[in-house]
C-alpha cells in the first residue's frame, strides 16, 4: 500500500517530535462518501473552519463510491482551492476501498478520516489531533456523551462486548468514522474487504499505539438506527472474521485441524459403536446413525485437508511477511 | 493479517558474530545475561554484537535493555506487542548483521560459555549447529516427557537426526537464515526446515541451568498444538514444491476403501441379490470414501494453483479518476 506515481514524494519528517498543539505538520482529511451523504459543503466548511482556527495546514480528499455524485458546489470549490481533491469510483467498492484510495492520494503527515455527515462536533478534532501529536499512532473518536436512544446504545454495547470477549480488546466506540492516524501507520495497515470498522483493533494487533479520545457527538448523528436482519448478520460475520484472522492467519491448521479432528473422533466413535453392534449380530446397514458416522469421518478428513492447503498458502507467503513490528530500535 | 515486510539492513559495520536473545518479561535477567555473554566471548577473536529483542514485555524489560545498550556491542529491538518466541527470534535474525548468528534463551537457562564451541563447530563446514541440552534442569512430567516424545516424532517424521529440537542455543550461518523464514511457532522445527532447504546440520552437547528468576512461559497445553504443527511441517518440508503429490498420497486411503466397498458390493449383489446386499454392505460409505478421495485430489490441485499464483491480490486498490 504505497503511494504511486507523482504522489510518492517525501511528506516531511516523522511526527514523533511534535508535541505542542497546533504543530502536527499537515493534516489530510479523508472523507469516504459511502452509504450516507449529508450536505458535504456544510461538512467541509465546518471542519475546515475548525482546522483553520487551530492553525493547521490541511487538505481535503473526498472519495465518492459508485452511485454518489459530487455536489456541483464542491466540484466548484475543488477547482478554486488547491487543497480540495475529489475522486470517484466507477462502481461500488465500499468504505475500506475509499479509505485506501484517500490514504494513497493524500500527502499529509496525519490522516484524519471523517464520515460524509456530521458524526461528531467539529471542536472535537482538536483533542484527537493532540493525541496523535502526543505519541499515539492512531486516535479514534469515542462519541461521548452518547445522546442516542437506548436501542442504539444497546446494540452498540452488544457489539463491543462481543468483540471484547473474542479479542480481549476493550473499545467503546470502535466503529466511529472519525480517526486520526499517523501517515506511516495508515500506510502499513492491512485494509481490505469490510474491515474499516475494525481499523483501531487491527492497528492494535499490528503492534501500534491506539487511544480512544472522547469527542462530543453531533446532534444530527443522533437518530434511531435500526437495520434489517442482514446487516446484523453481516456484523456478526465481521466479528467472526476478525477473530479468525487475528488468531489463525499464521496457523490455519490449528483451527481446521481442531474442528476436523472433533468430527473425526465423533464419527469414529459412532462407527466403532456400530461395529460392536454388528459383531453382536445386529443389522446396521439401514440405520441412519451409520450414515452420520461415515459422513462425519469424511467431513473431518476434508476439513484437515482444507487446513493443510491454508498452511501451504501461508508458507508460500512467509518469506515476505513478518508477524512482528519493531517499535523502537537502539 | 500481519503484512509487515522484513527489514532491509543498511550498511555499516558488519560484526563477525551476532548473538540474538528474545526476552519476554525478563527484566531481572537482562543485566546478568549480557554480562555473561560478554564474559563468555571475551576470548572470541572477532567482533561481536548482542541483539536483545524485547517481545512486548510489561515488566520493564525494555528499560533494562536500554541500560544494557550503553555497551556499544549491545543493540536492542522493542516489538510493538507480544508476538511469541518464533517471531521475536525472527526479528533478531532479520536485524543481525553478523556472518555467524547464535540464538539463545533470554532466561539464563542456556550457557553462553558454549557459544565459542558451537561457532568453532560451524567452521568445520556446517550451516547449523544445534545445542543438545545435557542434564536438563526442567520439570520431568510437564517438560521432559512431552519434549522427549515430540523430539522422537519430529525425528521420525522428518528424518533429521537431531536429538533436542527445543533447545534455543543454536549457531547458524547467515546464509541459511536468509533461506528459511520462520513464523507461527516454528522455532522448534528449525533443524527440519533447514534440512529441507539443503543445509548441513549437526548437534553438540551444551550445558543447561535451572531458571534463576522469573517463571517458565510454557505448559503442557502446547503439546496438543504441536501435533497440528507437525502435520504442517511434514507437508511443507516434503511436499512444498509438489503439494498435489501429498494430497494424492492421502487420497489413496479413501480411494482404496471405496474400491474395497465396491468390490464387496458387487460380490454381495451377484451372490445374494440387491436386498440382501444392501443389508450386508453399506454402499453409501463407499461412495462417501470415493467423494473424499476426489475432494482431497481437488484440494491438491487448489494448492498447486496457490503455488503458481503467489501474487497478493487482496491488497490491490481499484482504479479511480480525479474530478476536475
More confident residue, A223 or B321: A223
| pLDDT tens digits, one per residue of B137-155 | 777 777 778 788 888 888 8
Average pLDDT along chain A? 85
Does B194 share its domain with B208? yes
Calculate helix-pair angle for B222-238, B145-158, nearest 10 degrees. Answer: 10
Percentage of chain B modeled with pLDDT above 70:
90
Cα–Cα distance between A258 and A276 in angstroms, integer?
27
Does B129 share its domain with B268? no
CB-CB: which of A312, A317, A327 is closest to B236? A312
- Residues with Cβ < 8 Å from B151, sequence gap 6 or more? B162, B163, B164, B165, B166
Contact A301 B84 (CB under 8 A): no
Percentage of chain A modeled with pLDDT above 90:
42
Contact B284 A258 (CB under 8 A): no
Which of 180-209 (B) contact A at CB < 8 A?
A: 181-185
CB-CB: which of A104, A249, A312 is closest to B235? A312
Q: Which residues of A touch B69 (CB under 8 A)?
A: 330
A241 inside 8 A of chain B by CB: no
- Residues with Cβ < 8 Å from A131, sequence gap 6 or more? A139, A180, A211, A213
Cα–Cα distance between A255 and A30 in angstroms, integer?
37
pLDDT category at B215 given cuts 50, 70, 90 is: low
B52 has pLDDT over 80: yes
A157 inside 8 A of chain B by CB: no
Long-range contacts of A41-46 (CB under 8 A, 24+ apart): A41/A71, A41/A73, A41/A74, A41/A77, A43/A114, A43/A116, A43/A117, A43/A118, A44/A74, A44/A77, A44/A84, A46/A118, A46/A122
Q: How many CA atoms lie within 13 A of A145 on its CB side?
A: 2
A312 inside 8 A of chain B by CB: yes
Does B23 share its domain with B68? yes
Average pLDDT along chain B? 86
- Asked if A30 and A113 count as a contact pair (C-beta separation under 8 A), the reply is yes
Cα–Cα distance between B138 and B215 in angstroms, integer?
12
Domain end marker among B213, B238, B263? B238
A275 has pLDDT over 70: yes
Does B164 share its domain with B283? no
B44 has pLDDT over 60: yes
Domain end marker among B207, B238, B269? B238
A12 has pLDDT over 70: no
| Cβ–Cβ pairs < 8 A, chains A and B | 217
pLDDT category at B324 given cuts 50, 70, 90 is: low
Per the domain annotation, does B38 fall within a domain? yes
**Across residues A224-250, what is the average pLDDT?**
83
Does B191 share its domain with B74? yes
A6 has pLDDT over 70: no
Look up residue A235 and give its three cell numbers.
456484523
B319 has pLDDT over 60: no
A2 has pLDDT over 70: no
Q: Which residues of B touch A75 (CB under 8 A)?
A: 323
B249 inside 8 A of chain A by CB: no
Per the domain annotation, does B303 fall within a domain? yes
Percentage of chain B modeled with pLDDT above 90:
46
Q: Ranked by mean pLDDT, which of A157-166, B57-66, B174-183 comes out on top?
A: B57-66
CB-CB: which of A291, A302, A316 is closest to B292? A302
The residue whose grid cell reads 523430539 is: B151
Does B81 share its domain with B224? yes
Q: What is the dihedral of CA A64, A189, A241, B303, to 10 degrees?
A: 110
Domain count across chain B? 2
Contact A324 B87 (CB under 8 A): yes
**Across residues A41-53, what is the average pLDDT?**
92
Which of 206-235 (B) contact A at CB < 8 A?
A: 225, 228-229, 231-232, 235
Q: What is the dihedral of CA B222, B226, B232, B238, to 10 degrees?
A: 150
B54 has pLDDT over 50: yes
Does B227 share its domain with B263? no
- Asked if A153 and A51 count as a contact pair (C-beta separation under 8 A), the reply is no
Per the domain annotation, does B315 fall within a domain? no
The sheet that has A57-64: what strands, in order across it? A210-215, A138-143, A179-182, A110-113, A26-33, A57-64, A84-88, B321-323
Per the domain annotation, does B200 fall within a domain? yes
Does B212 share its domain with B249? no
A18 has pLDDT over 80: no
Q: What is the dihedral of CA A92, A94, A99, A102, to 10 degrees?
A: 10
Per the structure, the complete domain to which residue B142 belongs is given by 17-238
| pLDDT tens digits, one per residue of A86-116 | 999 999 999 999 999 999 999 999 999 999 9
Does B144 share its domain with B22? yes
How many of the other CB atoms lie within 10 Å of CB of B67? 14
A65 closest CA partner among A96, A107, A29, A109 = A96
Per the domain annotation, does B33 fall within a domain? yes
Q: What is the pLDDT of residue B228?
A: 84
Does B49 share its domain with B175? yes
A6 inside 8 A of chain B by CB: no
B315 has pLDDT over 50: no
Q: What is the pLDDT of residue B224?
A: 59
More confident residue, A167 or A274: A274
In eight-state DSSP terms, residue B103 is E
pLDDT category at A48 given cuts 50, 70, 90 is: very high
Domain containing residue B205: CATH number: 3.90.550.10
Contact A285 B279 (CB under 8 A): yes
Q: Which residues pair with A220 in a beta bridge?
A: none
Per the domain annotation, does B299 fall within a domain? yes
Q: What is the pLDDT of residue A11?
A: 35
Per the domain annotation, does B95 fall within a domain? yes
B297 has pLDDT over 90: yes
The residue whose grid cell reads 507480544 is: B82
| pLDDT tens digits, one per residue of A136-190 | 999 999 988 887 788 888 888 888 888 888 777 788 888 889 999 999 999 988 8
More confident residue, A223 or B217: A223
Domain end marker among B190, B214, B238? B238
| pLDDT tens digits, one per residue of B6-38 | 887 777 778 999 999 999 999 999 999 999 999
Contact B81 A318 (CB under 8 A): no
Does B102 share its domain with B206? yes
Does B136 share its domain with B263? no
- Residues with Cβ < 8 Å from A298, sequence gap 6 or more? A267, B254, B288, B289, B291, B292
**Across residues A32-45, what is the average pLDDT?**
90
pTM comes to 0.81
Residue B170: asked if its preceding bond is cis (omega within 30°), the reply is: no
Amino acid at each position: 500500500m504505497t503511494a504511486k506515481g507523482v504522489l510518492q514524494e517525501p511528506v516531511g519528517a516523522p511526527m514523533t517530535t511534535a508535541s505542542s498543539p497546533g504543530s502536527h505538520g499537515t493534516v489530510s482529511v479523508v472523507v469516504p462518501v459511502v452509504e450516507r451523504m449529508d450536505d458535504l459543503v456544510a461538512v467541509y466548511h465546518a471542519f475546515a473552519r475548525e482546522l483553520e482556527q487551530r492553525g493547521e495546514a490541511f487538505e481535503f480528499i473526498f472519495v465518492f463510491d459508485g452511485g454518489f455524485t459530487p455536489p456541483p458546489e464542491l466540484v466548484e470549490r475543488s477547482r478554486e482551492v488547491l487543497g480540495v481533491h475529489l475522486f470517484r469510483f466507477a462502481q461500488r467498492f465500499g468504505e475500506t476501498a475509499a479509505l485506501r484510495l484517500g490514504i494513497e492520494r493524500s500527502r499529509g503527515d496525519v490522516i484524519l478520516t471523517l464520515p460524509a455527515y456530521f458524526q461528531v462536533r467539529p471542536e472535537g478534532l482538536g483533542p484527537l489531533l493532540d493525541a496523535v501529536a502526543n505519541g499515539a499512532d492512531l486516535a479514534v473518536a469515542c462519541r461521548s456523551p452518547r445522546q442516542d436512544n437506548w436501542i442504539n446504545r444497546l446494540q452498540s454495547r452488544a457489539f463491543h462486548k462481543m468483540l471484547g470477549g473474542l479479542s480481549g480488546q476493550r473499545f467503546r466506540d470502535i466503529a466511529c468514522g472519525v480517526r486520526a492516524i499517523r501517515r506511516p501507520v495508515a500506510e502499513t495497515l492491512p485494509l481490505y474487504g469490510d474491515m474499516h470498522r475494525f481499523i483501531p483493533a487491527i492497528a492494535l494487533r499490528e503492534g501500534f499505539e491506539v487511544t480512544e479520545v472522547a469527542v462530543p457527538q453531533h446532534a444530527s448523528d443522533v437518530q434511531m438506527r435500526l437495520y434489517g436482519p442482514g446487516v446484523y448478520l453481516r456484523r456478526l460475520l465481521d466479528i467472526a472474521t476478525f477473530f479468525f484472522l487475528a488468531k489463525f492467519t499464521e496457523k490455519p491448521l490449528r483451527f481446521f485441524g481442531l474442528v476436523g479432528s472433533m468430527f473425526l473422533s465423533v464419527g469414529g466413535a459412532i462407527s466403532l459403536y456400530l461395529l460392536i453392534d454388528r459383531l453382536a449380530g445386529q443389522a446396521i446397514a439401514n440405520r441412519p446413525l451409520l450414515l452420520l458416522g461415515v459422513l462425519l469421518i469424511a467431513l473431518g478428513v476434508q476439513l484437515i485437508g482444507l487446513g493443510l492447503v491454508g498452511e501451504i498458502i501461508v508458507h508460500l507467503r512467509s518469506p515476505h511477511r513478518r508477524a512482528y513490528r519493531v517499535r523502537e530500535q537502539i | 493479517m500481519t503484512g509487515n515486510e522484513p527489514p532491509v539492513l543498511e550498511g555499516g559495520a558488519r560484526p563477525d558474530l551476532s548473538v540474538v536473545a528474545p526476552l519476554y518479561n525478563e527484566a531481572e535477567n537482562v543485566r546478568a545475561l549480557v554480562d555473561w555473554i560478554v564474559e563468555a566471548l571475551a576470548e572470541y577473536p572477532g567482533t561481536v554484537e548482542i541483539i536483545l529483542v524485547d517481545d512486548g514485555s510489561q515488566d520493564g524489560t525494555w528499560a533494562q535493555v536500554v541500560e544494557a545498550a550503553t555497551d556499544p556491542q549491545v543493540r536492542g529491538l522493542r516489538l510493538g506487542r507480544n508476538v511469541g518466541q518464533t517471531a521475536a527470534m525472527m526479528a533478531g535474525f532479520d536485524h543481525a548483521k553478523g556472518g555467524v548468528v547464535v540464538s539463545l534463551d533470554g532466561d539464563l537457562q542456556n550457557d553462553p560459555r558454549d557459544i565459542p564451541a558451537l561457532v568453532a563447530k560451524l567452521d568445520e563446514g556446517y550451516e547449523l549447529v544445534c545445542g543438545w541440552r545435557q542434564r536438563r534442569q526442567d520439570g520431568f512430567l510437564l517438560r521432559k516427557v512431552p519434549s522427549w516424545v515430540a523430539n522422537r516424532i519430529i525425528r521420525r517424521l522428518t528424518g533429521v537426526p537431531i536429538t533436542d529440537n527445543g533447545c534455543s542455543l543454536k549457531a547458524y550461518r547467515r546464509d541459511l537464515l536468509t533461506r528459511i523464514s520462520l513464523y507461527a511457532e516454528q522455532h522448534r522445527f528449525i533443524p527440519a526446515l533447514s534440512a529441507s532447504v539443503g543445509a548441513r546440520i549437526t548437534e553438540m552437547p551444551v550445558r543447561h541451568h535451572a531458571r534463576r528468576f522469573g517463571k517458565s512461559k510454557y505448559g503442557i497445553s502446547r503439546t496438543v498444538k504441536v501435533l497440528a504443527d507437525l502435520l504442517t511441517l511434514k507437508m511443507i518440508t516434503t511436499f512444498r514444491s509438489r503439494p498435489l503429490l501429498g494430497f494424492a498420497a492421502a487420497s489413496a486411503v479413501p480411494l482404496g476403501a471405496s474400491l474395497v466397498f465396491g468390490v464387496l458390493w458387487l460380490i454381495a449383489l451377484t451372490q445374494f441379490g440387491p436386498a440382501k446386499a444392501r443389508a450386508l454392505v453399506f454402499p453409501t460409505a463407499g461412495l462417501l470414501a470415493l467423494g473424499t478421495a476426489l475432494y482431497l485430489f481437488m484440494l491438491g490441485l487448489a494448492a498447486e494453483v496457490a503455488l503458481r499464483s503467489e501474487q497478493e491480490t487482496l491488497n490491490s486498490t481499484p482504479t479511480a479518476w480525479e474530478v476536475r
